[in-house]
Amino acid sequence: MRFDFRYVIKVFPNILSYLPVTLGIAFLSGAIAMLLSVALLALRKIHCRALQAALNFYLDFFRGTPVVVQLFFLYYGLAQLFPVFKNLNGLTAAIIGLSLNASSYMSESMRGAVQSVHPRQVEAGLACGLTQTQVMWHIVFPQAARIAVPTLTNDFIGLIKSSAVAFVLGVRDVMAQTKMLGGSSYRFFECYFVAIIIYFILTKLIHTFQLWLEKKLDVRTRNGGKKCSRSVS
Amino acid sequence: MLQISQLKKSFDSLQVLNGIDLHVKKGEVVSVIGPSGTGKSTLLRCINYLEQPTSGSITIDGLCISPETKSRKRLYEIRRKSSMIFQDHSLFENKTVLENITLPLISAYGYSKSDAEVKAMDILQAIGLADKYNQYPYALSGGQQQRAGIGRALAIEPKVMLFDEPTSALDPSLINEVLELIRSLAEKHMTMLIVTHEMSFARHVSDRVIFMNHGIILEEGTPDQIFTSPRCHETKSFIKSTIQRVNF
Ligand SMILES: Nc1ncnc2c1ncn2[C@@H]1O[C@H](COP(=O)(O)OP(=O)(O)OP(=O)(O)O)[C@@H](O)[C@H]1O
Ligand SMILES: [Mg+2]
C-alpha cells in the first residue's frame, strides 16, 4: 500500500472537526484539576493523620495505576456497585476520571513550587505586619506561579495525551474519529498520521505558550519596564 | 519601649532561651553579641512572634503578649509595632523596590496607594535609592538590597527596629554603606535592637551592649565597659576571639 497524500488532505478536516471535543475535555479537566489541586494543597495543611494518609493514598492511586484502567473502573466498575453511576455518560466519566488523575500530578507540581519559594520571603512578609493570607496572595503565590509554569504545562500536555484514551468510554474525540475512519477505509497509516500531526501541533502550541508565559512572569525580563503611577522626582 | 520578661524558648528538647529579661528604653540602641548558636536570632524572632516563645511575655509600646494571652489579632498588632531586618533574601523578589515598601503600607497599615508611594519615594530619597525605585531586587547589589530592606522597615514607623546580622551576608566592600545607614538612624534616636558580629560598629553605635551565652544574658553594660573590661571570663574570651584574626 502506498502513502496516499490526497487521502490525508481529504480526511484532515474531518478529523480536525473533532478537535473541539479533545480540547473541551482537556481544558475542562485541566481547569477542574487545577481547582482540585488547590483544594488538595489546602487539605495538606490540616494536621490530621487519617486525612494525610488518605491524601497520600489518593496521590499514589492516581499516579500509580494506568489512566485507562482508572477510567474503566470509574465507568464500568463503579456503576455496577453504585446505581447512581449508571446514568453517567462516557464524556462525563472521562472528564471526571481525567480531572482526578491530573489533579494528582498538578497538586504535586504546585506543592513543589510553593516549597521552593525562599522561606525568608514569608517571614519578611509577616514581620512587615502582613497577614498569612496576604503573604500567600501577594508574595508566595506569584513567585510559585512562575516556578510552577513548566511543570504544570507538562502535566497539562500529559492530560491532553491521556484524553486520547477517552474513546474507550465511547467519547467521539480526535482519537475516536481517527480510529473509526481508519477502520472503515483501511487507510490506518494516513488516518493516524493526521491524528499525530494534530496532537503534535497542539502540544507544540501549548509549549510555545509556556515559554511566553515563563518570560512574562519572570521579573528579570521586565525590569525597569514596569509602569508606575509616580516617576522619579 | 520594649520589655521582655522571663522569655523562654525551646525546640523540642533543645532549650534555646533560658529566661531572658531585657528592657530597652525609647531611643536606646542596644547591641546583642555572643557566640554562634546562643539564641540571638531566636530572641529577635520571638520578639515579633515569628517564633512563639515557650513562656514569658513581651511588651512593646504598652502592648503585652505572652503565649497565654496570644490571639491572632494581638499577634498582628504586636508585629506591627516592630520591624525586622534579616540577613538576606528579605526583599519580596516579585516586587519592585517601590512596591516592596508600599505593599505593607497599603495592605497592613491602611495607606492609599498614592500616599504610600509618596511616602516610599521620600524614604528612598533619604536612603539614596530613589533611582532604583522601579528595579526588582535581583538587580540590586547586596548592600542596596539591605538598605531597601531597612527603608521598608522604616516606612511602617516601627516603635522598635530589630536587626539580625544585617551585614553578615554582605561583601566587605558593601558593609559600610549599610552600617552608615543604621548609624544615621541611631543619631535620630530610633529604638533599635541589633544582633551583630561587627564589634567596632557595636561599640560605636550602641548605648548598651549585651553579651548572650547559652540562652541567657550573661553580661551587659556600656560598650566601653563590655569591650575594655568585661567582668565574665566568657565575654572576655569571646571578644578576644573576634579581635584576633588568623593570618594565613
Ligand atoms: N526552627 C528551629 N528548630 C530547631 N532548632 C532551632 C530552630 N531555630 C534555631 N534552632 C536552634 O537554636 C539554637 C540557637 O539558634 P539561633 O539561630 O538563635 O543562634 P544565633 O545566636 O542567632 O547564632 P548565629 O550567630 O550563628 O546566627 C541553635 O542551636 C539552633 O540549632
Ligand atoms: Mg543568628
Residue B181: name the closest of B135, B146, B157 by CA.
B146
Torsion sign over Cα B148, B150, B151, B155: positive
**Strands in B127-243 per DSSP E:** 160-164, 192-195, 208-213, 216-221
Alpha-carbon distance B26 to B9, whole Å? 26
Tally of domains in chain A: 1
What's the pLDDT at A229? 46
- Assigned C-alpha cell, B185: 538612624
Query: How far from chain centre, in Å, is Cα B4?
Result: 15
Ligand 1, atom 24: nearest CA belongs to which residue?
Answer: B36
- Would you state the pLDDT for residue B246? 59
**Strands of B2-11's sheet, edge to edge?**
B14-24, B2-11, B55-60, B63-65
Write out the H or E segment, with its range, that includes residue A103: helix A90-115
Ligand 1 mean position to A118 CA, how many Å? Answer: 18
Query: Among B10, B32, B41, which is best to mutate for testing ligand 1, by the most ligand atoms less than 8 A from CB?
Result: B41
Q: Is B98 on the interface with A (CB under 8 A)?
A: yes
Does any ligand 1 atom lie closer than 6 A to the CB of residue B67?
A: no
Q: Which residue has the cell 486520547?
A: A164
Give the per-residue pLDDT at A88. Answer: 85
Sign of CA dihedral A63, A67, A70, A71: positive
- Residue B179: all three cell numbers together: 552600617
What is the C-alpha separation between B174 and B148, in angstroms, rounded? Answer: 13
Number of separate helices (H) and strands (E) present in chain A: 11, 0
Q: What is the CATH number of the domain that holds A89?
A: 1.10.3720.10
Compute the distance from residue B43 Cα to the ligand 2 centre, in Å: 9
Length in residues, chain A: 233
DSSP B43: H
A chain contacts of residue B152, beta-carbon cutoff 8 Å? 128
Is the distance from CB of B192 to CB of B164 less than 8 angstroms? no
Q: Report in angstroms the alpha-carbon separations of A27 from A72, A102, A137, A153, B11.
A: 21, 11, 25, 12, 47
> Ligand 1 within 6 A of B11 CB?
yes
User: pLDDT below 70 — which residues of chain B?
Assistant: 245-248
Q: Is the distance from the beta carbon of residue B40 to the nearest atom of ligand 1 less than 6 Å?
A: yes
- Tell me the C-alpha distance between B118 and B114, whole Å: 6
Q: Are B108 and A131 in contact (CB < 8 Å)?
A: yes
CB A8 within 8 A of CB A178: no
Q: CB-CB: which of A128, A142, A224 is closest to B108?
A: A128
pLDDT at B245: 62
Q: Is B90 in the pocket of ligand 1 (CB under 6 A)?
A: no
- Residues 6 or more apart in contact with residue A212 via CB below 8 angstroms: none
Neighbours of A50 (CB within 10 A): 7
Nearest to A226 among B76, B84, B134 (CB): B134
> How far apart, in whole angstroms, are the C-alpha atoms of residue B230 and residue B222?
10
Ligand nearest to the CA of B212: 1
pLDDT of residue A233: 41
Q: Which residues contact B184 (CB under 8 A, 6 or more apart)?
A: none
Q: Cell 548605648 identifies what position?
A: B207
Structural Rg of chain A based on CA atoms: 22
Q: Does B41 sit in the ligand 1 pocket, CB within 6 Å?
A: yes
Q: How far is the CA of B181 from the centre of ligand 1 (A)?
A: 27
Is B86 close to A142, i.e. CB distance below 8 A?
Answer: no
Domain around A99 = 5-232
- Min distance A207 CA to chain B CA atoms (Å): 24
Q: Is residue B47 within 8 Å of residue B2, measured between CB atoms?
A: yes
C-alpha distances out from residue B72 to A7, A52, A122, B65, B75, Å: 70, 26, 17, 11, 5
Buried b (16+ CB within 10 A) or exposed e, B3-16: bbeebbbeeeeeeb
pLDDT at position A222:
67
pLDDT tens string for chain A (233 positions)? 788 889 999 999 999 999 999 999 999 999 999 999 999 999 998 999 999 999 999 999 999 999 999 999 999 888 888 888 888 889 999 999 999 999 999 999 999 999 999 999 999 999 999 999 999 999 999 999 999 999 999 999 999 999 999 999 989 999 999 999 999 989 999 999 999 999 999 999 999 999 999 998 888 776 554 544 444 44
Angstrom distance (rounded) from CA A205 to CA A200: 9
Whether the CB of B50 is below 8 Å from some CB of chain A: the reply is yes
CA distance B213 to B161: 22
Residue A232 DSSP symbol: -
Joined grid coordinates for residue B77: 498588632
Residue whose CA is at the smallest distance from ligand 1 atom 19: B37
Q: Single out the residue of A188, A181, A185, A153 nearest to residue A167, CA to CA.
A: A181
Assess contact for A27 and A98: CB atoms under 8 A: no
**B167 C-beta closer than 6 A to ligand 1:** no
Q: Which amino acid type is present at position B218?
A: L
List CB contacts (< 8 A) between A146 and chain B: 94
CB contact under 8 A, A224 and B134: yes
Q: Which residues of B touch A134 (CB under 8 A)?
A: 107-108
- What are the pLDDT digits (tens) for B45-59? 999 899 999 999 999
Q: Please enumerate in sequence order all residues whose Cβ is within 8 A of that of A14, keeping only pairs 6 or more positions apart, or say none.
A: A177, A181
What is the whole-number distance in angstroms between the Cα of residue B48 and the centre of ligand 2? 15
Q: Is the CB of B128 inside 8 Å of chain A's CB atoms?
A: no
Instruction: Report CA-CA distances (Å) from B96 to A128, B113, B148, B156, B158.
Output: 16, 15, 10, 17, 22
**Ligand 1 atom, smallest distance to B51 CA:** 1
Buried b (16+ CB within 10 A) or exposed e, B115-147: ebbebbbebbeebebbebbbbbbebbebbbbbb
Q: Is ligand 1 within 6 A of the CB of residue B196?
A: no
Nearest chain A residue to B79 by CA distance is A129
Q: Is B16 in the pocket of ligand 1 (CB under 6 A)?
A: yes
